[in-house]
């Protein structure tokens, strides 16, 4: 009898465990199951411009092409002698934009995560000026991250009160009171096109086709599959140590939509699809001034590469590194094809091309050198999280090989693009960026001393000249670095310079007073070890920060 009781209890216990596992599986996959249907592929027709140019290209305002990569690490391109897998991957087409135009050695993201950074880029303003402080997520995502086992990481903190009062994800975006680059340029006679990632609001009035873009083809949410994960032409790399990765693989669709219409499957690998459509859009608009915002989602997770790109990198032994490198290979190929399309249509000389990444490389992919030589990752204000590739090419105005050493920021793109189009910045609001043209043209003025700020909840940073202060609250401490002699932030000199800490802290507080309350709350505080990627064992005495999102 005892034996049967043990068997019965064991059976019940196993059933209970299976029940909990099934419940977790359902909760993890529920958002994907409830997502709108994705329709079969269909071709879209870009709105055609004039059949013939009204003016020769040299006599009309410059076309403006803004190319933004997603989570591209500083060391992911070969421009500075680096590249993925210690240079086994080269990025000649991305590098060429900087080599044939201007490169900014100290290019900074507007924030350390994608959505606030993009908000800064498109408005020319600190996103905290209009409440866009945190990256939009939903409550299921936050609960998944907070509920993940804490092996090899500190425990994520869930703010249940914020979860209980969180607005829908689509309601989190740039308020309609703000003006985007597309708003400005369309008002100046440009045809404005958005391709790829948005992540700046999905409710009526916040969508790209309602924020100055005449046409939008892409996805509103922050990430997307690159291909059906079961496709024989795709190679996948999943990270079982990363809760974000688990959520994405369970829920992301492979889809795009045109001007808010039905979602449909692209007909090829996402990076190649966006490139192909960019070339078609350029062709449709070759006879009128256009603004193209090409927002690739590469190399953001999920890590998926074309088998052809993966096979071409057989010298890289590690599977995850090789998939990641293959994604960047496709990104570089796409940039090259877009640049060639401009040249083939005679638009090359009078087109301003800007290339950057929304923030630094992410720790959660588990690769250690993507932001080398800088410390830190996406979602930190160490240089690895906010120092990004930043190139400008405009043959009619910028000499090849121009190198600018002073700090520039994403919100300079707004001022630079509108000035290139012959427009003045809006007079009814503060524009935090500056026009970069005087620092890259023949006069080559020296960059002015600048003070730049970053903020996510209680975690803040300021760079004033070459001094950089980070203010942490978990644990509460101030980190001070002198970037001129210590650009990789190895030596914290806060203890030896209390007066400088007080001065910079006062700058942060004064800047705070000009910002507004966040439009939605942070749902979680996620711990990030500065000197190691996720999926690796902790080290004694390591530095880490808690990121609000």
* Each residue's pLDDT tens digit, 156-176: 999 999 999 999 999 999 999
Mean of pLDDT values over 535-543 = 91
Query: What pLDDT was estimated at residue 459?
Result: 98
Question: What is the model's pLDDT at position 29?
Answer: 75
Tell me 535's DSSP state: T
- Contact between 376 and 83 (Cβ < 8 Å): no
Q: Residues 429-456: what's their mean pLDDT?
A: 92
Angle in degrees, CA 100, 102, 107, rounded to 5 = 135
Rounded CA gap, 74 and 395, in Å?
Answer: 25
pLDDT at site 2: 46
Give just the sign of the alpha carbon dihedral 529, 530, 536, 539. negative
| Tokens at 101, concatenated | 């135009």
Higher pLDDT, 321 or 151: 321
Residue 408 carries which DSSP code?
Answer: E
Question: Which tens digits make up the pLDDT trace of 494-508?
Answer: 999 999 999 999 999
Residue-wise pLDDT tens digits, 392-409: 999 999 999 999 999 999
Segment 249-307, tens digit of pLDDT: 999 999 999 999 999 999 999 999 999 999 999 999 999 999 999 999 999 999 999 99
The CA radius of gyration of the chain, in Å to the nearest whole number, is 23
Nearest in space to 378 (alpha carbons), one of 433, 370, 519: 370
Mean pLDDT of 462-489: 97
Length of the chain: 549
- Residue 257, Cα to own-chain centre: how many angstroms? 20
pLDDT, residue 27, reads 61
Residue 374, CA distances (Å) to 72, 113, 327, 449 in order: 14, 17, 22, 22
Residue 36: predicted pLDDT: 78
Please, what are the domains in the chain?
A: 23-450 (3.40.720.10)
Residues 485, 405: Cα–Cα separation, whole Å: 14
The per-residue pLDDT for 3 is: 46
Q: Which residues contact 200 (CB under 8 A, 6 or more apart)?
A: 115, 118, 119, 122, 132, 173, 174, 206, 208, 211
Burial of 390 (0-12, 13-18, 19+ CB in 10 A): buried
Mean pLDDT computed over 1-5 = 44
Q: What is the pLDDT of residue 155?
A: 85
pLDDT of residue 154: 72
| Positions of E strands within 255-350 | 257-258, 290-295, 303-306
| Local structure of residue 130 (DSSP, 8 states) | G
Distance CA 77, CA 91 (A): 6
Instruction: Tell me: pLDDT of 17 over 60.
Output: no
Q: Write out the DSSP string of 226-268.
A: SS-TT-TTEEEE--TT-HHHHHHHHH----BEETT---B--SS
Segments of 221-270 assigned E as strands: 234-237, 257-258
DSSP 113: S
Please determine, for residue 9, whether its predicted confidence score (pLDDT) is greater than 90: no
Asked if pLDDT for residue 320 goes beyond 90, the answer is: yes
Contact 369, 325 (CB under 8 A): no
Cα within 13 Å of Cα(117), Cβ side: 29
Average pLDDT over all residues of the chain? 93
pLDDT-derived band at 66, boundaries 50, 70, 90: very high
Instruction: Indicate if the pLDDT at residue 18 is higher than 60.
Output: no
**Closest-CA residue to 183 (of 136, 130, 127, 124):** 124
Q: What is residue 96's predicted lDDT score, i.e. its pLDDT? A: 98
Tell me, what's the pLDDT at 147? 87
Q: What is the pLDDT of residue 23?
A: 56
Q: Residue 87 region, left (φ>0) first, then alpha (ψ -120 to 50), else beta?
A: left
Q: What are the beta bridge partners of residue 234?
A: 306
Asked whether the predicted pLDDT for residue 342 surpasses 80, the reply is yes
């Amino acid at each position: 009898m005892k034996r049967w009781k043990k068997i019965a209890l064991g059976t019940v216990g196993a059933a209970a465990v299976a029940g909990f596992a099934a419940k977790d599986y359902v909760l993890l996959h529920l958002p994907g199951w409830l997502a709108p249907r994705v329709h079969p592929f269909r071709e879209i027709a870009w709105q055609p411009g004039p059949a013939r140019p009204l003016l020769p290209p040299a006599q009309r305002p410059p076309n403006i092409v803004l190319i933004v990569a997603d989570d591209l690490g500083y060391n992911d391109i070969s421009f500075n002698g680096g590249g993925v897998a210690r240079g086994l991957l080269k990025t000649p087409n991305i590098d060429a934009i900087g080599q044939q135009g201007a490169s900014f050695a100290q290019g900074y993201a507007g924030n350390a995560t994608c959505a606030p950074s993009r908000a800064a880029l498109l408005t020319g303003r600190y996103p905290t000026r209009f409440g866009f402080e945190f990256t939009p997520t939903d409550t299921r995502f936050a609960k998944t991250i907070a509920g993940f086992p804490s092996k090899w990481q500190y425990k994520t903190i869930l703010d249940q009160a914020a979860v209980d009062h969180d607005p829908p994800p689509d309601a989190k975006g740039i308020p309609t009171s703000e003006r985007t680059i597309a708003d400005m340029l369309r008002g100046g006679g440009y045809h404005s096109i958005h391709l790829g990632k948005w992540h700046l609001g999905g409710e009526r009035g916040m969508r790209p086709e309602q924020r100055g873009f005449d046409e939008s083809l892409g996805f509103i949410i922050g990430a997307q599959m690159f291909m059906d994960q079961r496709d024989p032409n795709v190679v996948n790399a999943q990270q079982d140590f990363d809760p974000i990765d688990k959520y994405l693989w369970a829920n992301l669709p492979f889809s795009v939509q045109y001007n808010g219409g039905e979602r449909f499957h692209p007909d090829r690998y996402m990076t190649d699809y966006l490139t192909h459509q960019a070339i078609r859009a350029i062709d449709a608009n070759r006879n009128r001034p256009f603004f193209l915002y090409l927002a690739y989602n590469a190399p953001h997770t999920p890590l998926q590469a074309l088998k052809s790109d993966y096979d071409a990198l057989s010298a890289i032994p590690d599977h995850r590194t090789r998939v990641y490198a293959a994604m960047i290979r496709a990104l570089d190929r796409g940039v090259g094809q877009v640049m060639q399309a401009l040249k083939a249509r005679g638009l090359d000389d009078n087109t301003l091309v800007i290339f950057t990444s929304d923030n630094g490389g992410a720790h959660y992919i588990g690769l250690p050198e993507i932001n080398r030589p800088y410390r830190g990752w996406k979602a930190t204000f160490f240089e690895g999280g906010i120092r990004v590739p930043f190139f400008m090419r405009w043959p009619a105005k910028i000499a090849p090989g121009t190198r600018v050493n002073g700090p520039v920021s994403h919100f300079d793109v707004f001022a630079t693009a509108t000035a290139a189009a012959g427009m003045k910045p809006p007079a009814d609001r503060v524009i935090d960026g500056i026009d970069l043209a005087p620092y890259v043209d023949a006069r080559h003025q020296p960059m002015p001393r600048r003070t730049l700020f970053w903020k996510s909840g209680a975690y803040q940073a300021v760079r004033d000249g070459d001094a950089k202060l980070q203010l942490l609250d978990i644990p509460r401490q101030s980190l001070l670095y002198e970037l001129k002699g210590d650009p990789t932030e190895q030596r914290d000199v806060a203890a030896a310079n209390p007066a400088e800490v007080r001065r910079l802290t006062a700058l942060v507080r004064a800047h705070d007073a000009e910002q507004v309350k966040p439009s939605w709350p942070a749902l979680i505080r996620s711990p990030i070890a500065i000197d190691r990627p996720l999926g690796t064992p902790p080290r004694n005495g390591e530095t880490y920060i808690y990121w609000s999102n």
